[in-house]
Structure 1
Amino acid sequence: MQKLNLPPSDFKLKSEEGNQFIFDIVRKKYLVLTPEEWVRQHFIHLMVNHLAYPKSLIKVETGLAYFKSAKRSDIMLCDREGSNFLLVECKAADVKIDRKALNQVSVYNKELKARYVALTNGMVHFIWEYRSDENKYYQLKEFPKFV
């Protein structure tokens, strides 16, 4: 897999019947190692090991409905009260972060109402704060502290 612009981590990898798998520390199971999963797992490790976000408050690939369409958010960090704090949309490293990707995560957040939204392909990362009173997103330079 491609080297990403994220801190290296000690991943548990295994091969079975010609397929590569990576262990998800949140869901506590091995998953097929796709380019998007590679980014997602790196980002989860960043959140837990470098940003000190509580692993117990992270949800991965949870379902949501939007205009009768079933969708899945990649990573959601909840605050201590159980409200959505940070929504992260992951793309494979070769997928360009463009208006389409930004629209996707903003559509998801209309339903999820997270205070912060991030978009990453493992090479570039963007983070915004959503201010519901203004109905506007403001780009941030770093990830929010979890308190």
Structure 2
Amino acid sequence: MQKLNFPTYSFRFKSNENKISIFDCIRKKFIVLQPEEWVRQHCIHYLISEKGYPKSLINVEKELFVNGLKKRYDIVIFNPDGSIHLIVECKAPAITISQNTFDQIAQYNLTLKASFLMVTNGLNHYYCQMDFENERYNFLKDIPHYTK
């Protein structure tokens, strides 16, 4: 798999029927290794190792309904009170991050109401803080570290 713009992490892999899988420490199971999954796993490790978010507050690949349509988010980090702190949208490295990507995560956020958004293709990372009062987002250099 391609080298990404994240620190180096050690992952557990297994091979089954000519398919390589990577262990997801949040879902506690092996997931078929696709380019987007490679990015997602790096991002999960980044959030835990570099930003200090507890595994217990991280949720991966869950369904939600946006305007009556079934969607699936990549990564969500909850606050201890159950509100949502951060939504992460992961794309494969070959996918260019565009306005459409931000529109997708912003639509999810109409339902989820996260304080922060992160969009990454593993090579480029973009971070935003929501300004609900003015109905917009402000770009940041990074997302904040976990604080209790």
TM-score bracket relative to the smaller structure: over 0.9
Inter-partner Cα distance in structure 2 for 1:134 and 1:146 = 25
Gaps of 5+ in 1: none
For 2:67 and 2:51, locate their aligned partners in 1 and report how far apart those are by CA, in whole Å.
Answer: 34
Matching of residue 46 in structure 1 with residue 13 in structure 2: no
Tell me the C-alpha RMSD between the 2 structures.
0.7
Tell me, yes or no, if structure 1 residue 140 matches structure 2 residue 128: no
TM-score, L = length of structure 2: 0.97
User: TM-score, normalised to structure 1's length?
Assistant: 0.98
| AA in 1 matched with 2:101 | A
| SS of corresponding position for 2:36 | helix
Aligned to 1:2: 2
Render the CA deviation track for 1:80-101: whole Å, top value 9, x for unaligned: 1111000000000000001111
Tell me the CA shift for residue 66 of structure 1.
Answer: 1.1
Alpha-carbon shift at residue 116 of structure 1 (Å): 0.1
Provide the secondary structure at the position in 2 that maps to 1:107: helix
Deviation at 1:145, TM superposition (A): 2.3
Matched with 2:70 is: 70
SS at match of 2:61: strand
Alpha-carbon distance in structure 1 between the residues aligned to 2:89 and 2:21? 21
In structure 2, the gaps of 5 or more residues are none
Cα deviation, residue 115, structure 1 = 0.2
For residues 11-50 of structure 1, the aligned pairs below 5 Å read 11-50=11-50
- Residue of structure 2 in register with 1:131 after alignment: 131
**Fraction of identical pairs, as percent:** 44
Q: Which amino acid aligns with 2:25?
A: I
- Partner AA of 1:112 in structure 2: L
3-state secondary structure, aligned to 1:53: coil
The alignment status of 1:79 with 2:91, answered yes or no, reads: no
